[in-house]
Structure 1
Amino acid sequence: MDMGLRGKVAIVTGGSVGIGLAVAEGMAAEGANVVLAARGGERAQVEADRIAKAHGVEALGVAADVSTAEGVDGLVRAAEDRFGGTDILVNNAGTGSNETVMAAPDDKWQSYWDLHVMAAVRLARGVVPQMRRRGGGVILHNASICAVQPLWYEPIYNVTKSALMMFSKCLATELVGDNIRVNCVNPGLILTPDWKKTARQLTANTGGDWEGYLQGVADEHAPIKRFGTPEELANFFVFLCSDKASYSVGSTYFVDGGMQKGL
């Protein structure tokens, strides 16, 4: 199936590892040129070089802290300078949290707000003019099932991801007339390096069965009884960015192995 992505330019934030890297690779496999943005620019460029060689596309790694206005501005300029603009933006940069509402200080709330929400706001302001010049585009926001079904130990993550989901809906309404489609994806349990790292830490003093720990998490939360892979999630992102999803506008899609319990 031809996804119509050949020659498109896609920015993926948090693009050097995990979900972001899988999305960038999935885009490149369909012929899109990719910009991998990450705080670690050297790692992003290593992965960009590998993707370019593997898929015969152009790929650029950019050092960018998208939680800051300066980082966003630099990323937008890099895409403009290298490719003349952007057709696809995947807002993927983010991380989990661990706190209580009563104990979390203001600066922790602010840092997650900047990373999960303001990064998306600023990147939209930066890339939408490029997309308009190029006749349209696609913006996808990677939120979380926790945006609607929160986990008790990460209230800041829950709240900011919920705000990102609402921002996605608002932006979709504003941009649909410009032939720019905006959607949101709420993943469930995806087996990222962060999950593996956490599991190893939690089981270090009890025998080190990190895989068993993760299986227990999957058994508790996901009817499918396993974690999804970054590649499985990336396939859905690629579809939503493609011409095959041309009537998908302003929606939120759950890719969660049945984890969401509500309607």
Structure 2
Amino acid sequence: MDLKLRGKVAVVTGASVGIGLAVADALAGEGVQLVLAARQQERLEAAAADLAARHGVRALAVACDVASAAGVAQLVDATKDAFGGADILFNNAGTGSNETIMDAPDEKWQAYWELHVMAAVRLARAFVPTMRERGGGAILHNASICAVQPLGYEPIYNVTKAALMMFSKTLANEVIKDNIRVNTINPGLVLTPDWVKTAKQLTADTGGDWEGHLQQVANEHAPIRRFATPAELADFIVFLCSERASYSVGSTYFVDGGMLKTV
């Protein structure tokens, strides 16, 4: 299926590893020019060089922190200087949390609000005008199944991802008149390096069977009884960025192996 994405420009945040890198790889495979954002410059530049070499596209690495207004401005300026704007924005930067509501300080709530919500707000304000000038575009927000089915150990993550999902819906209604489609992805269990790192830490004192630990997690939460690969999620996201998904507006898509317990 020709997704008609060749020559488009995509901005991907959290792009140096995991889901962000997999989405960048899949977009590059469709001939999309890339602007990759993440905080770790060396890893990001290595990823950009690899994608450019394998797919024959331009991949610009912009080391910045999109949780800050200055970091967003840096990313936007670099994109405009290199490509004049963007056709696709995948808001992916984010991370889990671990706290109780009673113990978490204001500063932690604010930090996650900036990362999961305000980054998306600021990037939309910056890129929607350039998408409008280019005839339209697609914005995808990577939220989480936890936005509607919370995990007890990460209330701040649950709350800020729920806010991101509502922002995405509200933005979709506002910009569809400009031929800009906005949607949300709510993944379930995706085997990212963070999951592997955590599993190794948790099993270090009990034999180190981190793979067995992850299998137990999958057995408990996902009827499919396994984690998704980042590439499986990326295939769906790239489709939503394309004209083939032209009637998908303001929706939230669960890619979770059956983890969601309601309809």
Give distance in 2, aligned partners of 1:29 and 1:228: 20
Please list every run of 5 or more consecutive structure 1 residues that lacks an aligned counterpart in the other structure. none
For the Cα contact (< 8 Å) 1:34–1:59, is it kept in 2? Answer: yes
Deviation track 1:15-71 (CA, whole Å, cap 9, x = no partner) reads 000000000000000000011100112221111111011001111110110000000
CA contact (8 A) 1:203 1:209 kept: yes
1:78-227 equivalence runs, <5 A: 78-227=78-227
Q: Which runs of 5+ in 2 are unaligned?
A: none
TM-score, normalised by the number of residues in structure 1: 0.99
Per the TM alignment, residue 171 of structure 1 is displaced from its structure 2 partner at its CA by 0.1
Cα distance in 2 between the residues matched to 1:238 and 1:214: 27
Aligned length: 263
1:29 and 1:91 mapped to 2: Cα distance?
Answer: 19
Q: Residue 249 in 1 paired to residue 249 in 2?
A: yes
Q: Quick check: 40-49 or 168-177, which moved more?
A: 40-49
Residue 213 of structure 1 deviates from its aligned partner by 0.1
Q: Which residue number corresponds to residue 2 of structure 2? A: 2
Once residues 2 and 44 of structure 2 are traced to their aligned partners in structure 1, the CA distance between those partners, rounded to angstroms, is 27
For each residue in 1:163-218, what CA deviation from the matched residue of structure 2 results, as whole angstroms up to 9, or x when unmatched? 00000000000000000000000000000000000000000000000000000000
For the Cα contact (< 8 Å) 1:91–1:120, is it kept in 2?
Answer: yes
Distance 1:18 1:251 in 2: 23
Identity of aligned residues (%): 73
CA distance in 2, matches of 1:49, 1:60: 9
Which stretches of structure 1, 4 residues or more, deviate above 4 A after TM superposition?
Answer: none
Give the whole-Å Cα distance in 2 for the aligned partners of 1:95 and 1:240. Answer: 23
Distance 2:59 2:154 in 1: 35
Instruction: Please give the root-mean-square deviation of Cα atoms over the aligned residues, in Å.
Output: 0.5
Give the match for residue 228 of structure 1.
228
SS of residue matched to 1:261: coil
1:25 corresponds in structure 2 to: 25
Relative to the length of structure 2, the TM-score reads: 0.99
